[in-house]
Amino acid sequence: MDFNGNGLTTDVLWDKYSLVIKGQRLFIHSGEFHTFRLPVPGLWLDILQKVKAAGFNAISVYTHMALINPSPGVIDFNDYRALEPLYEAAKQTGIWIVLRPGPYINAETTAGGIAHWITSQVAGELRTNATDWQAAWQDYVKGVIAETVPYQVTEGGPVIGNRAFQDNEYSQEPATHAEYFAELETVYLNSGIVVPLTANDPGEGQDWINGTGAVNIYGLDSYPQRFDCSHPDVWNPVVTNYHSYHETVNPNQPWYFPEFQGGSFDAWGPTAPGYDQCRALTGASFENVFNLDLWASNAKLINYYMLYGGTSWGALPFPGVYTSYDYGSAIAEDRQLSVKYPELKRQGLFLRSSPDFYKTDWVGSSAGGVVTVSNPATFVTLLRNPDTLASFYIARQGNSTSTNTTTFTLNVTTTAGDFEVPRLASGITLAGRQSKIIVTDYSFGSSKVLYSTAQVLYAGQIGGRDVLFLYGDSTSESEAAITFTGTPRIQGTGMSATSSNGVTTVTFLPSIQGLVTVWDSSDQLVLYSDTDTAGTFWSPEIPADGSVEFANYWQFGTNTSILVGGPYLLRNATITGSTLALRGDLNDSVRLIVIAPDNVETVTWNGIPISADVTAASAITAQGGFSAQLQPSSIVTSFSPPALTNWRYADSLPEIQPGFSDAGWTLADHTTTNIPFKPYYGDGRVLYGCDYEYCENIVLWRGHFNATESTQSVNLSINGGEAFAASVWVNDMFLNTSYGNSTNNQNSVEETDNKFYFPAGSLLYEQDNVITILQDNMGLNESGAVVDEEKSPRGVRGFMLNTGDFGQWTVQGKVGGYTNYLDKVRGVLNEGGLYGERMGWHLPGFDTSSWVLRDLPEGLPNATAGVGFFVTTFNLSISEGLDVPMAFTFDDTSQPYRAQLYVNGWMMGKRVSNLGPQYQFPVHQGILDYNGVNTVAVALWAMEPTAVTPTLRLTVGGTYEGGVGSIETNNPPWSPEGRQLVQEC
């Protein structure tokens, strides 16, 4: 068959079925991972190994323009912004990469990823063919290209596609959009990028298939459960027109889902459900029903968003989300494997085991009469490989939201004729929200399964034997008809078998728990287990010799794998001579079960030889089996985190004190702005932070005026984004706090307009008085219905005294703004404009010995409104062989305070106690120094003149013996350079 391509390479081709990479047909089974949300490059390997262990063969990766291109002409691929260490880790792991540089990425990040400087310096409409926008993205895009060209698949690298290189989720109309895409394409086509360009359509809009800006392969995004996790048991039904839409709009391309729901983001607010609820909404049942329904539409390129969410630390979030970007993902924010992970692993190992599934025709469904089922409550779709005739009947409830138990029989077409299955069991059971794949004419090695209503976990060859691992529910029967060969040496219990014409029909009875051997001969090994036990098994690929190109990639460098049951995580396996070396993680004592080539004589776990339990192994298989009890060391259960004590305190709002000078601040005197949302009232001056290079985190404004006895109040309109706050003082007297709002994305308030009255005695008549505004910036908006929403007017949109005029206005954000910010490692989004931040109090090594001792729960002195810095240090001493996910946990109460959490200089959390829901903030090794002194700082903002009593503990999510080895820290300490300039008092 002829394949399609882009004319630039033959290494990545496609037809209507799938991608073909270097001659190998591939099902792209991918998960989303944003490296910028895990700013420790040494831990990227940890995520990739967990991705690969679940049977995935690819990741999709956004890059973040605002971090990489922080100011005009500056391109920074250092530290966590780097691409090279990701590409190298992918090669080491055997993972393909589809890159998504945007420039606009959305991802629930500030301005959708567009560099903040652009939102104020570019006058033209963003994401169009406007000439100044085109000039603005050139350096960034060309920088990504330069980093990526040497790592394309054509060069032996992992990059196989550049998805949404033409921007994320964007319509092709009007023409300015299409021409913008065409301009981006021209840059890529004139560079060394030769892999296909793709786009993702946020709905069934048929964008980018034809016409100006059209891409090589069209993709559709889909989030069928949407983004409110408040009622995790309430489902939306599956989307039923995926296949018909595909056949209508791009039938000659493979069916591609660049983003399919793998979780959900969560919003600010006291009624926001939190990510545990999102993990329930999109849990194992959702994965089972909705993912398989996607497969039933004949999709062969699928990316689940997110597989690992991570942390929106610093100023990464857009205003609609809080610090955690856990997303309810299969891999949790703290990198632990969640309850969703085993189902994805079962699916991933099935896909890896089933090359016949990579090329299938959509034959029809029970709705059209092509497939016959006995129970009309069941819906079944038939996919068939046109070459091998292997068939895949994908069954679900007709009402996909149903929780009823449904039993049915199915008429199948096989090479042995047409008949009804199961033949012996009473039926096929769907236990509520469940899907199953019934296979016919299915291969494992050189052997055949005529049909199976049991699910396939693994099919292949191990040590020259054909191996099949089936599983099913322990509450219902399953059945498989298999051509057995050789003489059986072990046959398990809990099943019955009948043979006819060389085919044995095995019925797996209810109540089977654990692993049982169905058939064990010198030619074949067939295993069966309950579903939960199947989820505890791994199938690591044995890499080829390092001299082989793509040595770690399945189908390319290797087709050799083994089966391993028991451990919490199996990262990889190698065979050298007669020794099988397993590397992985343990958190408890487990029974290790290994099915390997029979020449393996020794098994090691993390480099230590294991004593075999010969009796246990021989009960599973007579050859190639190994069993032992794995026990983690006592240190796994003995670790406890240190208490956070001996806090030191200093006031961080000298700006309201008499005698404070803002002479060194930026004069806020602009009268024009490229931000399209103009001031509401005032005197013509524009007080938007981005116009003065202060786009992120806390910004302070000071407005001077001469007061008379008639001066009674000030009107202020303040814009900070959803869930923001702004506290206002006149001279040293607190006036009030203006609150933005979010109640689980309802009643959202991103700007306020309030009148603040001056109390008696607060003004200095006929003298200079100062209004001080302490404002939080919750990030810039993403694209929306209004043009250029990314150009958010964060700041003061209106200022007016009841009588008289303001004199000078000044503004201060982080030191240096976005052009000359000091912290080049942590980057442009880490700091804000608090006095303590400007002085570097949050950084390790700052000397707080002269500060007063004050416990964090005591809050600010005298129960005043204001800001104080609390700083302490603690020691960790954790063995290199341990992975200990830790978090900083505040009180789970509603109080009128906000707190910024800094760990070794990194802003790892924004706690908004009066809104919530987040009160626990995971922090990773690499930011935490596992063997040294760690500095934690809390900038506590009391928003009312009342006592606030925050608490903070270091908590442990789990302790795992294994990990990826030594992780470097890169936490630059305090330096006086640049900091003396901000001592305004």
Q: How does strand 931-942 pair with strand 897-903? A: antiparallel
Label residues 772-786 b or e (16+ Cβ within 10 Å = b). Answer: bbbbbbbbbbbbeee
Please report which helix (H) or strand (E) contains residue 13, including its range: strand 12-14
DSSP 681: B
Which backbone phi and psi does 337 adopt, to 5 degrees? -80, 130
Task: Cite the beta strand spans of 878-930 per DSSP E.
Answer: 882-883, 886-890, 897-903, 906-912, 920-923
- Contact between 464 and 447 (Cβ < 8 Å): no
Q: How many degrees, rounded to 5, is the angle at CA 700 between CA 699 and CA 703?
A: 140
- Contact between 406 and 435 (Cβ < 8 Å): no
Helix (H, G, I), strand (E, B) or coil at 279: helix
Q: Catalytic annotation on 944?
A: no
How far apart are alpha carbons 54 and 963 in whole angstroms? 16
End-to-end Cα distance, the chain: 77
- Contact between 81 and 131 (Cβ < 8 Å): no
How far apart are alpha carbons 116 and 72 in whole angstroms? 10
Give me 317's structure tokens.
């979030």
- C-alpha distances in Å from residue 903, one per residue of 169, 352, 933: 35, 41, 11
How far apart are alpha carbons 399 and 289 in whole angstroms? 11
Helix (H, G, I), strand (E, B) or coil at 635: helix
How far apart are alpha carbons 106 and 606 in whole angstroms? 40
Q: Which of 32, 183, 259, 782 is catalytic?
A: 259
Q: Catalytic annotation on 247?
A: no
Give me 846's structure tokens.
């700052």
In this structure, which amino acid lies at residue 97?
A: I
Helix (H, G, I), strand (E, B) or coil at 248: helix
Please report which helix (H) or strand (E) contains residue 350, including its range: helix 341-353
Give me Rg for the CA atoms of the chain: 30
Label residues 58-87 b or e (16+ Cβ within 10 Å = b). Answer: bbbbbbbbbbbbbbeebebeebbbbbeebb
The residues facing 625 across adjacent strands are 595
Helix (H, G, I), strand (E, B) or coil at 777: coil
- DSSP per position, 495-525: EEEEEETTEEEEEEPTT--SEEEEEE-SSEE
How far apart are alpha carbons 886 and 518 in whole angstroms? 43
Place of tokens 């608090």: 834
Q: Which of 108, 147, 169, 541 is catalytic?
A: 169
- DSSP per position, 563-610: EEES-SEEEEEEEETTEEEEEEEBSS-EEEEEE--TT--EEEETTEE-
How far apart are alpha carbons 454 and 440 in whole angstroms? 11
> Measuring CA to CA, which residue among 780, 822, 818, 829 is closest to residue 72?
818
Residues listed for the chain: 985
- Contact between 126 and 137 (Cβ < 8 Å): no
How far apart are alpha carbons 103 and 80 in whole angstroms? 18
3-class DSSP string for 293-336: HHHHCCEEEEEEEEEECCECCCCCECCCCCCECCCCCCECCCCC
Active site residues: 169, 259
